[in-house]
Amino acid sequence: MRVALFVTCVNDALYPRTGIAVVRLLERLGVDVDFPAAQSCCGQPQYNTGYRREAEPLLRRTAEAFAGYDHVVTPSGSCAAMVRAHYPRIARLAAREGRGSGLEKLAEDLVPRVHELTEFLVDVLGVTDVGAYYPHTVTYHPSCHGLRTLGLGERPRRLLAAVKGLELVELPGADECCGFGGTFAVKNPDVSAAMAADKTAAARATGAEVLCGADNSCLAHLDGTLRRAGVPLRTLHLAEILASTEEDPLR
Amino acid sequence: MTRTDLGMPAFPPAAPFPPGATFPPGATSQAFPAFPEAAKEAVRDDVLRANLRRATHTIRDKRARAVTELADWDRLRAAGKAVKDHTLRHLDHYLLQLEAAVTAAGGTVHWAADAEEANRIVTALVLATGEREVVKVKSMATQETGLNEALEAAGIAAYETDLAELIVQLGHDRPSHILVPAIHRNRDEIRDIFRTEMAGWGRPAPEDLGDDPRELAEAARLHLREKFLRAKVAVSGANFMVAETGTMVVLESEGNGRMCLTLPDTLISVVGIEKVVPTFRDLEIFLQTLPRSSTAERMNPYTTMWTGTADGDGPSAFHLVLLDNGRTDTLADETGRQALRCIRCSACLNVCPVYERAGGHAYGSVYPGPIGAILSPQLRGTGSDIDATLPYASTLCGACYEVCPVAIDIPEVLVHLRERVAQGGPVTRAGIRVRLRPAHGHTAERAAMRAARLLLDRPGALRTAERLLARARRLRPRRLPGPGRAWTDTRTLPDLPAEPFRDWWLRERGTRP
Ligand code: SF4
């Protein structure tokens, strides 16, 4: 089984520790993981902001970088959703507009092989107890694209619930958006900040030590809000909690 | 790239309004501030935010329960979508069938290409009756056209009879929700509006009116009863029109609609052309999905249906004004046309986190919330500040799509319209295919997106950039310049890592890039 890590551009540049956690976690589970260096960005920022054509070369790059792997695993529900839900449309429209030869074939070939991390663990590897250890109180915010576009459902919470020492507390209004939304955060800063304030207040009220998520972009927005407000609530990507073990605990 | 120079149907002209001011429905979209500015005002209004939060969360939870009750909800949703898609694909056919059926049943059908024409037709019809007063119910279409202002200009007084519409009208306000137009008002505010304004319109409110909902409803009932018994002409909308029988269908909760639709001598219904369904049987889908989606009821209290006129029963004259006003142009757009499936249930508003905080007025249209964000820029074009910013008034969280009873993929249409704003592209205006140029104010963004893509498409250059970023990590500023300021105003920047992931991989796992 040839497995590639699709680390995503945000994690590559800003959150390498999440990528490292995925590598350690997968290797611990016996998966031989590779990192094709030709990968960069899935093109989501361009596409979602209205620059569909700028996303086309990135679609091609992404598909070609992961050609030949049985599975492509990414620690971002949003980027997985970009590939699965939007690549086919981008490729179809490009073909119709007379551009992007072969994009449709590339997209069609890539889409079924791309898995968000929790899907890969639960559906492909068939595990929910990954042997992790993290003795803290944690609440989980399911980011929208993972929740609604991919339909991750209970997978992340099942994985967290199986972590030794971890106490999972429910986040009220969990399925409400945190207000990040890519360029929304700067184009509509007031509404975005109001949403972040409500989300972080809800997380804080749970009494958890850690606000966990599976999309670092949303977490960057929430973490930045918490820190600016001086609230001592830590944000963490799910992969980092799952990578933590008794022998090598996350600090 | 303005709306008018493309020959778009025009809205009645109105003076520009400052953000936060109240203005009449149907004001030209040029008069509204861009969405982010209008939303900024609303976010700061604590009373408004509390009103909206309470109201939307209550309806949203109830809707979820009402929908879960139905085991075949997904199939009903798919069926509703299919019926609407089929009808829209053959809209010309069904509209002609409808016209024939309505005419055969004793009604008269009028076709209005735009708002102005619709207003002209209705005004002439009212004047011909010799009356100078009309009662109105359930009509978003006439709010879209600004009919009340047109009638007023012709010396005709229009009285809204839907309770919430009455509150809006008495308060010199605009509706902020499809189903609950006065959702932004609380009981105190409503009592004050009734006390000070009712007398100027008809029967005054009791001196000692309190803020108990029953008392408020009773005051409205007495005030309206007088209007119903006196009115000779009514103006309505319709939720559905059945092509095969010519039947009009109105769903409502209060019974005021029933009064409007049955008591006057003349009934004029102004309805968007997308409201037609082929057969009576098709209603079985929507009579299940609409009430559950909008008020979370299994069935709405009043469903009124009428087919033309009947001797000695109800109005003796019935006029149907079929309104286009940008709908045919919207239909020409393959991605955007799904917005015409909308049955105006308002479920998407109630789950929208942006609507909840920005309020309905920020959307600068009678159609607020997610559906407004995709409908207004299509019906009106993307030329004004508000219409060019509406497609961005969403985080693309997808909650609207999830609840929509006719499965409108609102996020997909939003992205599509963003593309139209940022990049330009083909669009149909007044039946003519034109190519829009990109909107102003996106030049820097366009350049940035292109530069980012060029960088991201070259992993070598990307790695160099990432390393430079890592090296600059000690410089982490508290405030960013330019558009980045909007981020750092409320958020601390993340700590930069010592090295990008790809460098770690190279060192630790050692495969060559
Ligand atoms: S878009 Fe869908 S959810 Fe929104 S009002 Fe229309 S039918 Fe209802």
Closest ligand 1 atom to Cα of B410: 1
> B293 C-alpha vs ligand 1 centroid, how far in Å?
9
Residue A74 CA to residue A39 CA, distance in Å, equals 12
- C-alpha distance from residue A101 to each of A58, A105, B158 (Å): 14, 9, 59
Do A68 and A149 fall within a single domain?
A: no
How many Å is the maximal CA-CA distance in chain B? 90
Please give the DSSP secondary-structure letter assigned to residue B459. Answer: H
Mutate which of B76, B404, B412, B413 for ligand 1? The one with the most ligand atoms within 8 Å of its CB, which is B404
Do A184 and A75 fall within a single domain?
A: no
Hey, what are B302's tokens?
């009043």
Q: B456 falls in which pLDDT band (50, 70, 90)?
A: confident
Do A112 and A7 fall within a single domain?
A: yes
Range in A115-119, B10-14, B253-257, B258-262 with the lowest mean pLDDT: B10-14
Angle (nearest 5°) at CA B495 between B494 and B499: 120
- C-alpha distance from residue B11 to each of B38, B147, B149, B337, B366 (Å): 20, 10, 11, 21, 12
Contact B360, B177 (CB under 8 A): yes
For the segment A85-109, the average pLDDT, to the nearest whole number, is 94
Range in A114-128, A166-180, B168-182, B196-210 with the lowest mean pLDDT: B168-182
pLDDT at position B278 over 60: yes
Q: Which residue of A has its CA nearest to B482?
A: A186
Selecting from A15, A35, A89 the residue whose C-beta is nearest the C-beta of B505 gives A35
pLDDT at position B20 over 80: no
ipTM score: 0.96
Angle between helices B459-471 and B443-456 (to 10 degrees): 110
Contacts of B353 in chain A (CB under 8 A): 176-177, 179, 195
Do A7 and A120 fall within a single domain?
A: yes
Q: What does the CA dihedral B119, B144, B173, B293 come to, rounded to 10 degrees?
A: 140
For the segment B26-51, the average pLDDT, to the nearest whole number, is 86
User: Which residue in A192, A221, A231 has the most chain B C-beta atoms within 10 A of its own C-beta, making it the best mutation to test that interface?
Assistant: A192
For the segment B309-314, the average pLDDT, to the nearest whole number, is 93
Give the best-scoring range by mean pLDDT among B131-140, B400-409, B461-470.
B400-409
pLDDT at residue number B477: 73
Range in A79-88, B87-96, B331-340, B473-482 with the lowest mean pLDDT: B473-482
Query: Cβ–Cβ of B501/A19 closer than 8 Å?
Result: yes
Residue A114 lies in a domain: yes
pLDDT at residue number B282: 98
pLDDT at position B94 over 70: yes
Contacts of B38 in chain A (CB under 8 A): none
pLDDT at residue number A41: 94
Give the best-scoring range by mean pLDDT among B161-175, B202-216, B384-398, B463-477.
B384-398
Range in B83-92, B149-158, B182-191 with the lowest mean pLDDT: B182-191
Q: What distance in Å separates residue A47's CA from the closest CA in chain B?
A: 7
Domain carrying residue A177: 137-243
Last residue of a domain, one of A62, A91, A124: A124
Range in A208-217, A233-242, B250-259 with the lowest mean pLDDT: B250-259
For the segment B163-176, the average pLDDT, to the nearest whole number, is 88
CATH class of B96-323: alpha beta
pLDDT at position B28 over 80: no
For the segment B419-439, the average pLDDT, to the nearest whole number, is 90
Do A162 and A103 fall within a single domain?
A: no
Query: Cβ–Cβ of A144/B396 closer than 8 Å?
Result: yes
Query: Cβ–Cβ of B501/A177 closer than 8 Å?
Result: no
> What share of chain B in percent tops pLDDT 90?
71
pLDDT at residue number B8: 30
pLDDT at position B476 over 90: no
Nearest CA to ligand 1 atom 6: B342
Q: B27 falls in which pLDDT band (50, 70, 90)?
A: low
Residue A136 CA to residue A147 CA, distance in Å, equals 24
Q: Which residue of A has its CA nearest to B41?
A: A190
Query: Cβ–Cβ of B391/A184 closer than 8 Å?
Result: no
Contacts of A45 in chain B (CB under 8 A): 449, 452
> What share of chain A in percent tops pLDDT 90?
98
Range in A23-37, A147-161, B420-434 with the lowest mean pLDDT: B420-434
pLDDT at residue number B51: 86
Mutate which of B85, B183, B346, B409 for ligand 1? The one with the most ligand atoms within 8 Å of its CB, which is B346
Residue A251 lies in a domain: no
Q: What distance in Å separates residue B299's CA from the closest CA in chain A?
A: 28
Residue A248 lies in a domain: no
Q: What are the structural domain ranges in chain B?
A: 96-323, 443-509
pLDDT at position B475 over 80: no
Other beta carbons within 10 angstroms of residue B114's beta carbon come to 19
User: Strand B266-272 and strand A71-74: pairing?
Assistant: unpaired
Contacts of A185 in chain B (CB under 8 A): 486-487
Alpha-helical regions (H) of B231-297: 256-262, 283-294
pLDDT at residue number B454: 83
- The residue among B443 and A215 whose pLDDT is bigger is A215
Range in A35-39, A117-121, B213-217, B385-389 with the lowest mean pLDDT: B213-217
Mutate which of B286, B295, B348 for ligand 1? The one with the most ligand atoms within 8 Å of its CB, which is B348
Q: B22 falls in which pLDDT band (50, 70, 90)?
A: very low
Q: What distance in Å separates residue B319's CA from the closest CA in chain A?
A: 43
- C-alpha distance from residue B400 to each of A199, B293, B347, B350 (Å): 19, 12, 7, 9
pLDDT at residue number A197: 96
Angle (nearest 5°) at CA B150 between B148 and B156: 70
Q: Which residue of B has its CA nearest to A52?
A: B419
Hey, what are A210's tokens?
């850690």
Selecting from A11, A55, A144 the residue whose C-beta is nearest the C-beta of B398 gives A144
pLDDT at position B7 over 50: no
Q: Which residue of A has its CA nearest to B395?
A: A181
Do A56 and A164 fall within a single domain?
A: no
> B78 C-alpha vs ligand 1 centroid, how far in Å?
14
> B118 C-alpha vs ligand 1 centroid, how far in Å?
24
Residues within 6 Å of ligand 1 by CB: B 293, 342-348, 371, 403-406, 408
pLDDT at residue number B38: 94
pLDDT at position B26 over 70: no
| Helix or strand holding residue B319 (H, E) | strand B317-323
Last residue of a domain, one of A124, A152, A170: A124
For the segment A203-207, the average pLDDT, to the nearest whole number, is 97
Query: Cβ–Cβ of B456/A7 closer than 8 Å?
Result: no
> B283 C-alpha vs ligand 1 centroid, how far in Å?
17
Query: Cβ–Cβ of B398/A148 closer than 8 Å?
Result: yes
Do A120 and A149 fall within a single domain?
A: no
| Helix or strand holding residue A169 (H, E) | strand A167-169
> What share of chain B in percent tops pLDDT 70?
93
Query: Cβ–Cβ of B491/A191 closer than 8 Å?
Result: no
User: Strand B157-160 and strand B240-242: pairing?
Assistant: unpaired
User: Which residue in A26, A32, A42, A51 has the most chain B C-beta atoms within 10 A of its own C-beta, making it the best mutation to test that interface?
Assistant: A51
Residue A149 sits in a domain whose CATH number is 3.40.50
Last residue of a domain, one of A78, A102, A124: A124
Mean pLDDT, all residues of chain B: 89
Nearest CA to ligand 1 atom 8: B345
pLDDT at position B14 over 50: no
pLDDT at residue number B24: 42
pLDDT tens-digit profile of A28-64? 999 999 999 999 999 999 999 999 999 999 999 999 9
Residue A249 lies in a domain: no
Residue A57 lies in a domain: yes
Query: Cβ–Cβ of A14/B418 closer than 8 Å?
Result: no
> B344 C-alpha vs ligand 1 centroid, how far in Å?
5
How many structural domains does chain A have?
2
